[in-house]
Amino acid sequence: MNAIDPAIQQAATTADQSSDFRQRFDAMHAATRRTAAVARAVRQARLDALFDLVHDNGDRFVEAIAADFGHRSAHETRLLELFPSLEAIRHTRSHFGGWMKPQGKAPSLWFRPGRARILMQPLGVVGIIVPWNYPLFLAISPMAAALAAGNRVMVKMSEFTPRTGELLASLATRYFSPDDVSVVLGDATVGADFARLPFDHLLFTGSTKVGHDIMRMAADNLTPVTLELGGKSPAIIGPDYPLEKAAERIVVGKLLNAGQTCIAPDYVLVPAGREQAFVDAARAVVAKCWPDLANTPDYSAIVNDRHYQRLQSYVDDARERGARIEPLSGAPADAARRRLPPLALLGVGEEMRVMQDEIFGPLLPVLPYAELDAAIAYVNSHPRPLALYYFGNDSGNRDRVLEETVAGGVTVNDTFLHIAQENLPFGGVGPSGMGHYHGIEGFRTFSKQKAVFYQSRLNGMSLFNPPYGALFERLAKFLIR
């Protein structure tokens, strides 16, 4: 998809202009203030349109994302973008009617027979800032939740995936009214202007550094934010778990999208003395899954030159500081095509940049631990990660890791799979993020839970009216006894 459809280019040109999206926001905001109620049928129609947008244009999205990356495995895009996007919409369509229903709550004893309820109401206009690494799924999944909750949605796409953004902007005008869904394109300056809009809620997916900036910008309007950030997600291999089996799941999880995933294993903790055995097992996995890594269409490119050079600088810095670099493939690095073969790093130290920054690429530091206590302590001595992976069959060790560490989410004996569960919340903790979405958690995030109390005709509240006398004193003493 080297040539851009003129109609798509026109949509992009229009969407990029700050004045245009500010006007679009104002129109959306005004529409939400005319009435707060959004009927179930309207929400259903919007979800149906979102499903059709993705389903009917899957091949176009595959081509656009591949063009943005220079090369992205078509199979990975179908598996990691199209499938979860459609699955999120399907799950939401099947359940949002129940999520919308008022929830009856037991009133406090002293206020019976009154009734208490929670009404789920739309917030208004929701902003979604989408990263470049999964530009379709990380737009569509939160959109499904926001639309199900009855909101109107503005989406800011990443400037690093222009073709995907241009395609989504064009399709949004075909499948939605501009007062319901609007897609904004443009560079970081446009992104900053977008974040400063007085949204009723803003969801940002991206780096912790930019997350700080987004939160500051949103604070000017007291806009509540959900931040899906990142960090260094560890994988711990327990002493009882087969090394080869763990290596397979870790390496495959690491190398999906060439490691450009916020929940990819960032480093591995292995029992001391087994580091080289893990590297050998990892090398065998790469040979099996990507036998001709230099030329296979199943291995993705690094998104742009800047990120390719960043990853190379991590390797250079680690080598200079004494780390041992272990290639996991015989394929050479190819800067022209931005294909970076996977590398394991042994003997790494905390002073190395590869151990300070989120890697976001196919580099895998391997660290030894003497006892499980030491592995847990190492994880806890660093910022709380977005994900954690534990490999072990001993339930006692497993439960210790689950209870004694804090992470956004955990998959046991595999990687990634907790994020694929629509009935589980997805979100970070501390520097890896705040707030949750997916499934009902997304619906709640993008809803106002309005507390309502219905007073009964038979009630004793008049007993507490002034002027206060002896009866009030007796009642007060009874209540605060």
| Catalytic (active-site) positions | 228, 262
Provide the b/e sequence for 290-323 (b: ≥16 CB within 10 Å): beebeeeeebbbbbbeebbebbbebbeebeeeeb
- Specify the DSSP class assigned to residue 464: G
Compute the C-alpha angle 265/307/311, nearest 5°.
60
Three-state SS annotation for 265-327: CCEEEEECCCHHHHHHHHHHHHHHHCCCCCCCCCCCCCCCHHHHHHHHHHHHHHHHCCCEEEE
Residue 24 CB contacts under 8 Å (≥ 6 apart), including other chains: 154, 178, 182
Q: Using CA atoms, how far apart are residues 372 and 387, in angstroms rounded to an integer? A: 18
Give me the amino acid identity at 400: R
Whole-angstrom CA distances from 173 to 46, 126, 129, 391 are 13, 18, 18, 46
Cβ proximity of 435 and 226 under 8 Å: yes
Whole-angstrom CA distances from 142 to 59, 190, 263 are 22, 21, 17
Counting every residue written for the chain, the total comes to: 481
Give me the amino acid identity at 448: K
Q: Which helix (H) or strand (E) holds 243?
A: helix 243-255
